[in-house]
Structure 1
Amino acid sequence: MVQHFIYSGEALMAHVIAIHEYGDPSVLRIENVDVGEPGPGEVLLRQDAVGVNAVDAIMREGRFGTPLPAVLGVEGAGVIQAVGPGVKRHAPGDRVGYFYSMGGYATERVIPAEALIPLPEDIETDQAAAFLAKGLTAWMGISVLHQVEPGQVILVQGASGGVGSILSRWAKDRGATVIAVAGSKTKLPRVQAGATHALYAADPDFLATVRDVAPAGVDVVYDLVGQATAGLSTQAVRDGGKIITIGAASGPPLHYTALESERGIQLVGGSTPQHVQPATNPKPASELFAAIRSGLFHELKITPYAFEEARQSHEDLKHRVLPGLPILKQ
């Protein structure tokens, strides 16, 4: 383990988890690097917990064409050790988190101050690392891409994943009827806990069951899976409804575009950093923290892995056997 201290100007070595080639989890390597000093508008952050997300695996596999070598990870939380010139909103000793800032798999890192979100005293560092990226993506889905309101019927494809689990619970709490879809029968109890109805994607009575709940079709489909579920999504949504794509774990859907002209269905998508900017709008994070402290997500457990167990966390992610929201701990 690296010894941590408030930065005093001397060279600081950190552990990072990097890739030099694309591939399976075996390409993840733990390396030592010189962190360097924070420059203008930057801070030096000691990271106590780092989030593990599906996008990390996509980058590892090369599907985004991430330049190599690369330090994976987009989410973390910890304590500021030093600030660079021009940083006004943060100071050494502050607890902060961030989401979607590449280079997260590190024990210490330099990061732009504008990416940081101050953590309230009652929000644990582990909670921030586990929930910020997934929770703010869910917030974007129910507050920006579509405003979920009482009485609406929504269907969530990929409801057993991190974003899907959070989104389902949050939408239900806002008064929507939530049909949560699991990719396997073993995950049905998990999605049922946060939804009004739980369905298995391969159930031959899938569409009939949806029609029992929403005879004309659901108002909104949140598609967190993509190509594998696109057919069911198009049949489940009503004419004039919405299909909201957030990620595409099975690849991008192939035939959504024709739906706009044929059935008046709105196709909506977007990235979380595009709609959630903590430096200028604290509302998304504030609402996420309020939902966490209210106990809305109490059934979603955090699964810690040691920093050195990053490969295992990716193996568990690959085989869909994660027991909870994964983080890497020092």
Structure 2
Amino acid sequence: MPKAVRVHQTGGPEALELDDVDVAAPGAGEVAVNVLAAGVNYIDTYHRSGLYPLPTPIGIGAEGAGIVTDVGPGVTDHKIGDRVAWYTVQGSYAEKLVLPAESAIPVPDGVDTDVAAALLLQGVTAHYLVASTYAVQKDDPILVHAAAGGVGLLLVQLAKARGARVLATVSTPEKEQLAREAGADEVVGYEDFDKHAREFTGGEGMAAVYDGVGRTTFDASLASVRRRGYMVLYGAASGPVPPVDPQRLNQQGSVYLTRPTSRDFSSPEEITWRTGELFDAVRSGALSVRIGGRYPLSEARKAHEDLQGRKTTGKLLLIP
């Protein structure tokens, strides 16, 4: 019987359990896949902990890649043996999975299956952040937090490809090297980064700050934004940000504060556009996807511990 990682009672990494599960044959408009790699993302820890509540038992993970093993009635876009990837299918920490055919994105030749599993959720996130949430322009000064993380490394590369000047924050010298290799113009630690942001811009401030850290960085991030700039809060790795008085945006200079989420940037047309650009960039060598660790499915707890302990760089994968 195939196995999957599930949560029966929310909590810490110890809440992740490896269960035997029944996997039904695909129904109309569905495909069955053998999962070759599942992406580990910070949102998975929110589901596991209950910060983002889901009905239990919770199938953890939403991203992966694998091989189509069966197709349901009415499916014409996929066939047995196709490589596909996905990033919106809950329960992806699994050996086998049935998913909507419309969620299965063909993996083109020239893109490794592991890379496809590591790319989509964070890649689409980075894409909508720099292309749609705030459309980065040439010479824009941009601040990217956690620049050696999975989203951070992609954000730096995509912002640089659009001509931005990037200031990055990291927590260790090893992560500084990774951020510089991704193209960051300057890399600093988290202490007094708002002062560095002002120095980086000659006192003006950042066109946009991309902050996936949350509670511990929010105040200084907001202080780093220029007049009519964008404060883009897209995650809460250090915890959720307390309620914000809108007058602070006024005092900062008519700053825009936004909390985007992928569902609002993922129409079918947008998904085709974003994933197409990402895969093309990987195949051309313009975008590098760093896989920071591969763990057996049975070690999902360890993967979550390492991710939340900020011991990792790039993307973590679970390998069934």
TM-score tier after normalising by the smaller chain length: over 0.9
Question: What's the CA shift for 1:83?
Answer: 1.2
Q: What is the number of residues matched between the two proteins?
A: 316
Paired amino acid for 1:309: E
What are the superposed Cα offsets for residues 65-85 of structure 1, whole Å, 9 maximum, x if unpaired? 121111100101001111112
Q: 1:232 is matched by which residue type in structure 2? A: A
- Contact 2:194 / 2:221 at 8 angstroms: preserved in 1? no
- CA distance 1:218–1:122, change in 2 (3 Å): same
Please identify runs of 4+ aligned residues in structure 1 that moved more than 4 A.
278-281
Does structure 1 residue 127 correspond to structure 2 residue 121? no
1:181 aligns with 2:169: yes
- Note the C-alpha offset of 1:250: 2.0
Following the alignment from structure 1 to structure 2, what is the Cα–Cα distance between the partners of residues 208 and 312? 36
Query: What does 1:99-178 correspond to in 2, within 5 Å?
Result: 99-178=87-166
Which digits, 9 at most, give the CA deviation of each residue in 1:228-276, with x for residues without a partner? Answer: 1111111111111111111122233232633443321112232113212
Residue 67 in structure 1 maps to residue 67 in structure 2: no
Deviation sequence 1:107-146 (CA, Å, 0-9, x none): 1011111111110011111001111111110001011101
- Asked whether the 8 Å contact 1:172–1:196 carries over to 2, the reply is no
Q: CA RMSD in A?
A: 1.8
Deviation at residue 168 of structure 1 after TM alignment: 1.0
In structure 2, relative to structure 1, the CA distance for the partners of 1:280 and 1:237 (3 Å cut) is closer
Query: Percent identity, aligned pairs only?
Result: 36
1:49 aligns to 2:37 (yes or no): yes
The residue aligned with 1:283 is: 273
Judged with a 3 Å threshold, the aligned counterparts in structure 2 of structure 1 residues 164 and 324 are, in CA distance, closer, same or farther, namely closer
Alignment check: 8 A CA contact 2:175 2:313 kept:
no
After superposition, what is the alpha-carbon deviation per residue over 1:81-120, rounded to whole angstroms, capped at 9, x for unaligned? 1111222211211110000221101110111111111100
Tell me what 1:213 maps to. Answer: 200
Q: Is the 8 A contact 1:15 1:106 kept in 2?
A: yes
Where do 5+ consecutive residues of structure 2 fail to align?
Answer: none
Q: 1:140 to 1:133 in 2, by over 3 A?
A: same
Write the letter of the residue equivalent to 1:18: R
Give the one of 288, 293, 296 matched to 1:298.
288
Q: Of 208, 218, 232, which residue of structure 2 is paired with 1:230?
A: 218
Matched, 1:200 2:195: no
The CA distance in 2 between the partners of 1:277 and 1:47, in whole Å, is: 25
Q: TM-score, normalised by structure 1?
A: 0.90
Moved more, 187-196 or 102-111: 187-196
Aligned-partner SS, 1:96 = strand
Aligned partners of 2:68, 2:30: CA distance in 1, in Å? 10
Q: TM-score normalised to the size of structure 2?
A: 0.93
